[in-house]
A and B are shown apart, each in its own frame.
Chain A
Amino acid sequence: MTVQRFLPILAILALIVMVLAPLGLDPRGYEMRILCIMLLFAGLGQAWNIVGGLANQISLGHAAYFGIGAYTSTILLNLFTLSPWLGGLFGMVLAVGFALLLSIPTVRLKGHYYALATLAAGEAMRVIANSWADVTGGPVGISVPYMPGEGLWMMQFSTVLPNYYLFLAALVVICLIFWKIQTGALGYRLRAIKQNEQAAEVIGVDTYRAKLIAACVSAAITAFLGTLYAQFQFFFDPDTVFGIATISVKMALIAILGGVGRLSGPLVGAAFIIPMEEMANSYFGSSAAGLSQFAYGAILVIVILLNPHGLTALIGQLWNRILGKGAPHDRAAT
């Protein structure tokens, strides 16, 4: 009996729970917002997982794509009342363009070097958004015009409930894309790169192309989630959507804490981190600034010290200990 066999059933069960979850909750309530953000960040983590998890290209600059998506659709909506669906599409194109621009020189970098280059790229976008005030509104931020009653076409709703299902649908699609890549030829190529790039090249894997494609897919998904985020929050500023801590690191963290390179990783990670963060914020938010972020950093350090392979590996370890089994099979799955 392996865990793998139960996975499809587990996934369907989880999906049913997620579809039914809002029924018991206030559709305008705080809990619904947290659930929405959780779904959004699970999607972001999954998008990061394509590059960071499968190919082990640790990007710390995915906020660049996220912000491009958020700003493009919002600016187009402000100027031409263009539907965020189309605006989001433009955002995806721009994000892929940026991913190519960034990846063509940097994709050959490994480990620390790639992390540093992407970190700088995200920061560069933040600086541009802050200083190009004519277009982005600068540090003051930008608002999405409120158009009640426009519904799905303008991605605006009077309650959070439709947003929830929109995010859930997006997450399911993203997970399917990830699963498709993971089990397909591209996934094998990316994992070959992760294990041993030189060996992969020798046996004929075009590592450059594989990483480039992965980066573009990941960027496009992230950008679209940026658009969804903009339509959900109605207001944002450069430091939020291009932030290192708020987006880049958080999405990577969600994938890593949950178990890097696994389909389930970002889901577990988001289900753990987002509620924890929100709880810490609501408990201590006003009384002690920084406590939630402090706890956040401390937990990150502790989890990595306990098991460098992430939460799911940690849970697997515990599970096996309870069942009295030997080495965790979970770990070999990556």
Chain B
Amino acid sequence: MQNLLTFLQTLIDGILIGGVYAVISIGLSLVFGVMHIVNFAHAEFLMIGMFIAWFAWAFAGIDPMFGAFIALGVTFVIGMVMQRTLIKPILNAPQVSQIFLTVGLLFALENGALLLFGADYRSVSTSYQTQALTLFSSDAGRLLVPLDKLYAFLMALLSGGALWYFLSRTRWGRAMRATSQDPMAARLMGINTDRMYMIAFGLGVGTTAFGGAVILPYITASPTVGAQFVVLMFTAVVLGGLGSVAGAVVGGIMVGLIQSFSALFLPIQLMNLTLFVIFILVLALRPEGLVARRRA
């Protein structure tokens, strides 16, 4: 009974956190799927999203769950501008340049935030932060669903669903998928691929910022918070297949589960080690991803 409860609790925690990982990874996958660029600076937009939500909370009293929409909007615009000015010129450059441009962007964004906001840790306080739903209770133990994680998970579901709807059901979404499959053919069909690239990049960093904002109730914001998520995000994306949005969802939930289950056997510091090993093995054995094979 005790073991079963521990198992179920770990499962719940894994899925809840995994859902958020899924949303922050979708953006990365979208950018790669459409532009074939690995954006190493992507996790920094999670940090930016967290800061936007924090400021919205601190100065206007907006709950991070709603602040997330502001974060999405602001980073969407930043992303579009950034794509136009920085990413577009290197779309056809050698891969080395692409990698190092985004790595340079990573340094600039992280330290830019450090300059602007200082190294302080910032957290929000909300009414639901310390509360939890009790699913089951007995002498052997209880099954809990922490409310902050549940809300974050639901918001993640919402944004993931919206993005799925956009990509598969709307005209612009179809145009974007066409661009990712064959930019030349898309252009011949009258699609403005440059605009599609801009929107894809804006949406990509926007969803990641959204994901960053909704986890603010249980993760403190700081300029270096992105670094915690870099490998995690890439693992989720690679598990699901680089460039596949549906894959990123599966990958994100898998990463959440791997993390929460490995915490049962390993000391907390080694939690990410399992992730790294799995990541390298997946890259080596199935670089196309474990699940999906279709592009977004």
Contacts and interface: CB of A to CB of B under 8 A. Distances in A.
A150 to B, nearest CB: 35
Given A116-B234, A290-B115, A308-B97, A127 B272 contact: yes
A121 B223 contact: no
Contacts of B227: 244
A253 B38 contact: no
A121 B276 contact: yes
Contact of B107 (A123, A131, A293): A293
Contacts of B141: none
A252 B99 CA distance: 11
Given A127-B272, A131-B269, A256 B100 contact: yes
Contacts of B106: 297
A293 B99 contact: no
B6 interface: no
Interface in A41-64: 52, 56, 58, 60
B195 to A, nearest CB: 21
B101 interface: yes
A291 B235 CA distance: 30
A111 interface: yes
A120 interface: yes
A113 B287 contact: yes
- Count chain B CB atoms within 10 A of each CB in A130, A291, A301, A304 and give the residue with the most: A304
Contact of A249 (B93, B103, B273): B103
Interface stretch (B52-60, B63-71, B278-286): B278-286
Contacts of B94: 308-309
A105 interface: yes
Interface residues of A, number: 47
A297 B86 CA distance: 13
A308 B87 CA distance: 12
A299 B235 CA distance: 29
Most buried by B among A52, A111, A301: A301
Interface in A283-332: 288-291, 293-294, 296-301, 304-305, 308-309
B111 A297 contact: yes
A301 B86 CA distance: 8
Contacts of A112: 32, 38, 95, 99, 242
Interface in A99-138: 102, 105-106, 108-109, 111-113, 115-117, 119-121, 123-124, 127-128, 130-131
Interface in B91-146: 93-97, 99-101, 103-112, 114-115, 118-119
A189 to B, nearest CB: 19
A245 interface: yes
A299 to B, nearest CB: 8
B250 interface: no
B238 interface: yes
B190 interface: no
B42 to A, nearest CB: 12
A317 B38 CA distance: 29
Interface string A215-259: 000000000000000000000000000001100010011001000
Given A124-B276, A131-B267, A308-B90, A252 B242 contact: no
Contacts of B272: 123, 127
Contacts of A121: 276, 280
B238 A294 contact: no
Nearest to A52: B96
Interface centre among A106, A124, A289 (most CB of B within 10 A): A124
Contacts of A60: 99, 103
Given A58-B95, A116-B38, A294 B285 contact: no
Interface in B15-39: 32, 38
B281 to A, nearest CB: 7
Contacts of A291: 111, 115
Contacts of A120: 231, 234-235, 276, 279-280, 283
Interface of B: 32, 38, 86, 89-90, 93-97, 99-101, 103-112, 114-115, 118-119, 223, 227, 230-231, 234-235, 238, 242, 267, 269-270, 272-273, 276-277, 279-281, 283-285, 287
28 contacts: A58-B99, A102-B280, A105-B284, A109-B287, A112-B95, A113-B242, A116-B234, A117-B280, A119-B230, A121-B276, A121-B280, A123-B231, A123-B272, A124-B273, A124-B280, A127-B272, A127-B273, A131-B273, A289-B114, A289-B115, A289-B118, A293-B114, A294-B108, A297-B109, A300-B101, A301-B86, A301-B104, A308-B97
- What are the nearest 5 A-B pairs in CB distance? A297-B107, A300-B104, A290-B114, A297-B108, A105-B284
Interface of A: 52, 56, 58, 60, 102, 105-106, 108-109, 111-113, 115-117, 119-121, 123-124, 127-128, 130-131, 244-245, 249, 252-253, 256, 260, 288-291, 293-294, 296-301, 304-305, 308-309
